[in-house]
Structure formats: C-alpha cells, structure tokens
C-alpha cells in the first residue's frame, strides 16, 4: 500500500475510534492498518435543515436506490450476454466440426458402397463354383461381411452426427433468442439508470450552493445516526473474526481503489460500481464470485453479522441492491453511488440485509 493510502487509512482508523466511543461505551479501537468509517459532523455543528431539504434528501435516496436496482439488472444482463455470446461461439465451432465429420463419413460410406458394388455382381454360389481357391473365396466373403457391418456402422454414425448437428443448431437458435432478450433488458436497464440519475442531478442543480452544503451535511448526519445506532447495539464487541488469507488480499485490493469514481456498470480498473468493486476484489484474491449484489446474496454462504470478518461482503437493503466489503473495526469500503468515489464508511450506515462469505 502506498504512503497516500496508509495516511488515509490511519486517518480513517482515528475517526472510527471517535464514532465507536460515541456509539458504545468501553469499546477498544483496533490497531492501525485497516480503514474505518468517517463520521458525519454532530447535529449541533450543522445548520438545522428545513423540511423541504429533508424531503429532497429522501427523494434523492429514492432516485439513487432505483438507479442501483437498475444497475444490478444491467450488470446481470451484461453478464448473461457475455456467457451467451461465448456459448454461441462454442456451438458454431461444434457445428463446423460436426459438418466436417459428416462429410468424412459420407466419403467413407461412398467408398465402401462402391467397393461392395464392384465385387457383388454374381450370386455367392456362382462365385464359389467359379473360384479356383474355395478357401480364398471364403476369406473374401468374411471380409465382405465385415465390410457390410462397417458400412452399417458408418451409416449409424452418420445418423447420430446429423442429429447432433440439428441439436447444435437448435441450441444456437435458443441462445440467440436469449441473447436478444438480454440485450433488450440491458438497454431498458440503461435507460432507467440514466433517467434516475438525470432526475437526481436535476433536483440537486436546483439547490443553491448553501442548500447543497446543508444537504450534504444532512446526508452525513443520516449515515452517522444510523452507524451510531448500530454501534449502540453492542454488535462491534461481538465481531472478533480475523481475515482469511484470501480475505486479506481482497481487502488490500479494495483499499487500493479508494478515491476512484463510481460509474454504473464499471468493473475497474479506473472506476467501479458497488458489485464491480467487490467482485474484482475477490477475483484479485483468487476467488471468482457472481457479478451482481443480488447474485452474491443468492449464491454465496450466509454468515451472522456477529461472525463476520474482514473480506466478507455486507449486502444492503431488502432487495439486495447494494454491497460493500467489511474491512474491520465496524467499517466498510464501497462504491456508493453516481457522483461519489470509492470510500470508507460505517458498516451500519445503511440497512443491512445480511453478510456473505466468498471463500467458504
């Protein structure tokens, strides 16, 4: 980790200690080396927002949440189109190989038929009577019978190959239909994302500079209060898990991405969305995981919050539309939303759906 990252991490650790002291009594701070959440200013330090500004905050939360849901749909469709495209390429190769095999079988069957025709002009008893060497005739007859069996085998193999080709063609047509459907789903998700982000940006652009500053403090206060409530439950005193070797690598990768911008659909290396960050972090640790937060929630092993350890993924909201990486000391690293960068935050600053562990 570079000196800039170490400085940022150390500062974050100091800040999470402050949050922990405010949220729980007697909780010790961990040693430096892992990033931690940055608390928002206390309520008395910021101007009291009006009801209208609070309504704006809630509306922005809704718009960005809907954009996150659409982003998950976009990412899922993108992943499926990649797999379907690869499958179509594989099927095309199988069709080419199958056609080459069928052409070879036809040539072999034709040659066998021609040979059989040349030697089959007279009945067997006449050929035996005319033969100077009855044993040679019997040997040739045996060879002929073997040839007939071989020809039958060739015809059967040709039939199987033809059926295989038909099945490959049916599979390819099916994959094309699915590919087209997922391309349409991806396009619709992209449209929804862009609409929601544009609506959020338009809403924010109407605010004066002072209102935007107050709105930011209001957002920070909401996250701070949620984190404090989470710490007040005493949960941090129960979380004692240590990172696995793979988990430590994933945390290191995520830490190295701090400050990079959120871009929906992005998987790095210059920008990320929430699940793009977590999936790439675990890929760097040698453990591939599903691309989207919803599939991560469905497919990875669930663990209790009290049993989580650095490197585990925290899934947020009832629809599993957001994911972050737990890095210890009650902190997460995540890519929050459009207009923000990969950052450290409190693990309890958003509604937790559950925790999953990629390396078990």
The one catalytic residue in 17, 65, 302, 322 is: 322
Mean pLDDT estimate for the chain = 77
Q: Look at residue 144 and tell me whether its pLDDT is greater than 80.
A: no
Q: Is residue 199 part of a domain?
A: yes
CA dihedral 262, 267, 270, 272 (to 10 degrees): 10
The arithmetic mean of pLDDT across residues 278-305, rounded, is 95
Q: Kind of pairing, strands 343-346 and 331-334?
A: antiparallel
Q: Is residue 298 part of a domain?
A: yes
Neighbours of 99 (CB within 10 A): 14
Q: Is residue 176 part of a domain?
A: no
Place 53 in a pLDDT band, splitting at 50, 70 and 90: confident
What is the widest separation between alpha-carbon atoms in the chain? 120
Q: Is 334 a catalytic residue?
A: yes
Q: Is residue 122 part of a domain?
A: no
Two structure tokens written together for 189: 């998700």
More confident residue, 92 or 143: 92
Q: Which residues contact 45 (CB under 8 A, 6 or more apart)?
A: none
pLDDT tens-place string over residues 94-117:
788 777 777 777 777 666 656 555
Q: Is 322 a catalytic residue?
A: yes
Two structure tokens written together for 16: 């999470």
CA nearest neighbour of 308 among 267, 272, 273, 360: 360
The pTM is what? 0.63
Q: Is residue 105 part of a domain?
A: no
The one catalytic residue in 17, 149, 302, 334 is: 334
Q: Is residue 113 part of a domain?
A: no
Q: Which domain holds residue 341?
A: 3-89+193-357
Q: Look at residue 127 and tell me whether its pLDDT is greater than 60.
A: no
DSSP 358: T
The one catalytic residue in 17, 29, 274, 302 is: 274
With pLDDT > 90 as the criterion, what percentage of the chain qualifies?
34
Number of domains in the chain: 1
pLDDT tens-place string over residues 296-341:
999 999 999 999 999 999 999 999 999 999 999 999 999 999 989 9
Q: Is residue 156 part of a domain?
A: no
Q: Is residue 133 part of a domain?
A: no
Look up the CATH number of the domain holding residue 57: 3.90.1720.10
The arithmetic mean of pLDDT across residues 120-132, rounded, is 47
DSSP 44: G
The arithmetic mean of pLDDT across residues 46-56, rounded, is 60
């Amino acid at each position: 980790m570079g000196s800039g990252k170490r400085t940022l991490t150390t500062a974050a650790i100091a800040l999470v200690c402050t949050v922990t002291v405010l949220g729980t009594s007697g909780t010790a701070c961990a040693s430096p080396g892992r990033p931690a959440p940055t608390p928002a200013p206390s309520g008395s330090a910021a101007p009291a927002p009006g009801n209208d500004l609070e309504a704006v905050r809630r509306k922005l939360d809704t718009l960005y949440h809907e954009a996150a849901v659409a982003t998950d749909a976009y990412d899922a469709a993108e992943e499926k189109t990649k797999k379907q495209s690869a499958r179509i390429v594989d099927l095309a190769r199988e069709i080419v190989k199958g056609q080459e095999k069928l052409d070879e079988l036809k040539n072999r069957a034709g040659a066998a038929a021609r040979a059989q025709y040349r030697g089959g002009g007279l009945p067997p008893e006449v050929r035996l009577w005319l033969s100077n060497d009855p044993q040679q005739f019997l040997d040739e007859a045996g060879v002929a019978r073997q040839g007939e069996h071989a020809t039958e085998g060739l015809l059967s193999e040709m039939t199987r190959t033809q059926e295989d080709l038909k099945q490959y063609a049916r599979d390819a047509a099916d994959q094309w239909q699915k590919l087209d459907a997922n391309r349409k789903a991806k396009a619709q998700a992209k449209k929804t994302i862009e609409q929601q982000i544009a609506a959020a940006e338009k809403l924010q652009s109407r605010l004066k500079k002072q209102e935007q500053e107050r709105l930011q403090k209001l957002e920070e206060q909401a996250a701070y209060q949620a984190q404090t409530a989470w710490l007040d439950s005493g949960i941090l005193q129960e979380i004692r898990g240590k990172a696995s070797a793979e988990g430590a690598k994933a945390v290191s990768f995520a830490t190295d991405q701090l400050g990079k911008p959120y871009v929906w659909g992005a998987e790095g290396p210059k920008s990320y969305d929430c699940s793009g960050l977590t999936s790439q972090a675990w890929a760097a640790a040698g453990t591939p995981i599903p691309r989207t937060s919803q599939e991560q929630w469905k497919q990875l092993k669930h663990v209790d919050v009290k049993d989580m350890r650095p490197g585990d993924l925290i899934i947020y909201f009832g629809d599993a539309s957001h994911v972050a990486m737990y890095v210890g000391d009650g902190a997460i690293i995540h890519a929050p939303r459009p207009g923000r960068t990969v950052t450290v935050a409190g693990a309890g600053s958003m509604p937790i759906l559950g925790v999953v562990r990629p390396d078990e």
